[in-house]
Structure 1
Amino acid sequence: MIEVDFDAHERSRWAGRAQAYRRSFGRLCAYPAEALLDAAAVRAGRRVLDGPGGRVAVTLWPSPHPPLQRLWGEALDAAGVAPPTDLPRLAPGRDFPRTGPGVTGLLSTAGLVDAGCATLSWTHRADPDDWWAGPAAGISAIGLVVQRQEPAVRARIRREYDRLTAGCRDADGMLALPTAALLGSATVE
Structure 2
Amino acid sequence: MTAFDEYERRAWSGRADVFGGSFAKLCAYPAPQLLDAAAVGEGARVLDVGTGTGTVAAAACERGAKVTAVDAEPSMVVLAGRAAPAAEVLTAVLPELPFEDGTFDAVVGNFVLNHVGRPRVALTELRRVLRPGGRIALTIWAAPAPAGQALLGRAVEAAGVARPSHLPPLAAEDDFPRDPGGLAGLMMSAGLRETACETLYWDHRASPEEWWSGPMAGVAFIGQLLLSQPEQTRADVKRHFDRLSKEFLGEDGQLVLPHAALLASACR
How far does the alpha carbon of each residue in 1:110-151 deviate from its partner, in whole angstroms, 9 at most, with x for none? 111110110000001001111111110111111111111111
State the 1:45 CA deviation: 3.1
Q: Corresponding residue for 2:8?
A: 10
What's the secondary structure of 1:90's corresponding residue? Answer: coil
- 1:25 matched to which residue of 2? 23
The alpha carbon displacement at 1:86 in A equals 4.7
| TM-score, scaled relative to structure 2 | 0.66
Structure with the bigger percentage of strand: 2
2:264 is paired with a residue of what secondary structure? Answer: strand
> C-alpha displacement at 1:85, in angstroms?
5.0
2:164 and 2:214 map into 1 onto residues whose CA distance is: 19
> Which string of whole-angstrom CA distances, capped at 9 and with x for unpartnered residues, describes residues 133-187 of structure 1?
1110111111111111111111110111011001211111101011111001000
RMSD over aligned Cα, in angstroms?
1.6
1:138, 1:144 within 8 Å by CA — same for their partners in 2? yes
Q: Aligned partners of 2:168, 2:250: CA distance in 1, in Å?
A: 36
CA distance in 2, matches of 1:183, 1:144: 26
Alignment of 1:119-138 (within 5 A): 119-138=199-218
Structure 1: distance between partners of 2:234 and 2:204 = 24
Percent identity over paired residues: 49
Gap runs ≥5 in structure 1: none
User: Aligned residues, how many?
Assistant: 186
Name 1:36's counterpart in structure 2.
Answer: 34
Equivalent residue for 1:111, pick from 164, 176, 191:
191
Structure 2 alignment gaps of length 5 or more: 45-104, 108-129
Change in Cα spacing, 1:148 to 1:65, as seen in structure 2 (3 Å) is: same
Give the partner amino acid of 2:27. Answer: C
CA distance in 2, matches of 1:16, 1:76: 24
Q: Does the 8 A contact of 1:57 with 1:185 survive in 2?
A: yes
CA deviations 1:18-47 (Å, max 9, x no partner) are 221112110111111111111111112332
Offset of residue 4 of structure 1? 4.6
The reply to whether residue 183 of structure 1 matches residue 263 of structure 2 is yes
8 Å contact 1:146–1:154 — kept in the other structure? yes
Runs of 4+ deviating beyond 3 Å: none
